[in-house]
Structure 1
Amino acid sequence: MPFLLSILLLLFLLPEVARAQQGSGAASGGERFSMEASIRISGNVITRTGGENILFDTIYDVNFEQTRAGQTVITVDPITDFAAADAGAGYVVAKGAPNAEFQLTFSREVVLRHATERDNVLIVRYLLSGNSIPEQENAAYVLEAAPRFRLNADGEFHFWVGGMVDISKAIRGEYEGEFTLEVEYL
C-alpha cells in the first residue's frame, strides 16, 4: 500500500505601493504586487503491510519570492537555491526502514485556484532533487516519471522541493491547491 503525502499549497500575493519608474518621470498611480509565497509541506502516513512506515519530516517549506521589480516568473531551484527558514527550496527528509528501496510518484504541475476568485489560477511546475545524504548541492534532479530510491543505512533519504510559478496574471489574495507525493516500498 502506498504512502501518500499531500502538500498544502497556499500562495499569498501582497500589494506594494506603485512607484515612479526611474527615467519615466511619471508614477503609474495604480497598484502593483510583490509576491512572497510559502508552500507548507505536511503529510499523512499510510502503513505498509508488515507495519513499516515511511515518514516525511519537513525541515523547511518552499519559499517563492520576487527578487526584482516586474519579475513575472519566479523560480526556486531545488539544488542551487539553498533551503532555509525564510527563503529557497523546501527540505523534506523521508524516514523508514534502513536500506529499503522505494518508488516515488508526484505531479510535476499543480493548478492553484484563488480562494475567492476561483477562475483565477496559477500553475506551479515542480522541480525535485534528492540525495541519500543531507547535501543539497550534491543532490540529483528527479527527472524520471516514477524514480526508485534507497533509504540510507540510517533509514533516511533527503528531498529538496523547488519549482516555477508565473505570476503575470495573478491577483492579490490567497491561492490554494494540493501537491501529492506517493511513496511505495518495493
Structure 2
Amino acid sequence: MNKNISTFFLLFVTLLLVPMGSLLAQQNENGTDVNINVSAQVISSIEMITINSMNLSEVEPENNRISINPQNSTNAGKMIAIGNPNSEIRISYLEQRELTQPQRSETLIFNYEVAGNTEDDQSSAKILDRENRDFEFNEDGRFYLWIGGNVDISTASPGNYQGEFTIDIEYI
C-alpha cells in the first residue's frame, strides 16, 4: 500500500468511526441504550524510496528489442520498500504499460519484470511472477526491488517515450 492509499484508508476509517461514536449515546424507542463496539487495527504505512530510475538510453538494442534484466543489469531501476520489520507483504504490479511519444502520439508496450530481495543484493534477487508475490520485510523493515523489462522497438519512430510504472505493496 502506498503512502497515499494508507492515508486515505486511515481517513476513511476515521470518518467511518465518527458517526458510530454518536450511536453509542443514542437510545432506541424503548429508552434502552444501544452499544456498538468498533475496533480497527491501523497498520503503519509502507514507504517507497526510488534509488535509481530505469535507464533505457544506455542499453543497446538486440533484434529490435531493448531489454533490461532486473537481476543483473546496472540499468535496472532500484527501489526500497520500508515497513514493519519481519511483516509479510504482497507485491503486485501491472506487467505491461504503454509508453507514449507525446509529439507524435505514438505508443510502445513495455513489459516490466521485477526482482525482489530482503538483502541489498541484486544478483540473488528473485523474479516476481504470478505465483511468487508474497514476501516479508527483513529485520530492518526493508525489502529491495529492481525493475527491468523489455520493449519491441521495431516499429518505433525516433524520439522520447514516456510512461509510468506502478507497484503496489500491502501487508498481508
* TM over 0.5, shorter chain: yes
Give identity over the alignment, percent. Answer: 32
Equivalent of 1:143 in 129, 132, 156? 129
Alignment partners' CA distance in 1, 2:128 and 2:94 = 12
**1:90 corresponds to which residue?**
77
Runs of 4+ in structure 1 off by over 6 angstroms are: none
Are 1:107 and 2:66 an aligned pair?
no
Asked whether the equivalents of residues 59 and 67 of structure 2 are also in contact (C-alpha less than 8 Å), the reply is: no
SS of the aligned residue for 1:178 comes to coil
Question: Match for 1:113: what amino acid?
Answer: T
**2:73 corresponds to which residue?**
81
TM-score normalized by the length of structure 2? 0.73
Alignment partners' CA distance in 2, 1:53 and 1:146 = 22
Q: Name the structure where helix makes up a greater proportion of residues.
A: 2
Flag the 1:181–1:92 CA change in 2: closer, same or farther, 3 A. Answer: same
Gaps of 5+ in 1: 4-43, 83-87
Question: Match for 2:55: what amino acid?
Answer: N
Cα distance, 1:51 vs. partner?
Answer: 5.3
Asked whether the equivalents of residues 130 and 158 of structure 1 are also in contact (C-alpha less than 8 Å), the reply is: yes
Q: Name the structure where strand makes up a greater proportion of residues.
A: 1
Gaps of 5+ in 2: 11-41
**2:165 corresponds to which residue?**
179
Q: Pairwise mapping of residues 10-159 of structure 1 onto structure 2 (< 5 A)?
A: 45-47=4-6, 50=42, 52-64=44-56, 65-67=58-60, 72-82=64-74, 88-118=75-105, 120-144=106-130, 147-159=133-145
Alignment partners' CA distance in 1, 2:84 and 2:117 = 16
Are 1:163 and 2:149 an aligned pair?
yes
- Alpha-carbon deviations, 1:85-135, whole Å to 9, x = none? xxx1111010011111111111111111220222x2111101110100001
TM-score normalized by the length of structure 1? 0.67
SS of the aligned residue for 2:163 comes to strand
Flag the 1:89–1:96 CA change in 2: closer, same or farther, 3 A. Answer: same
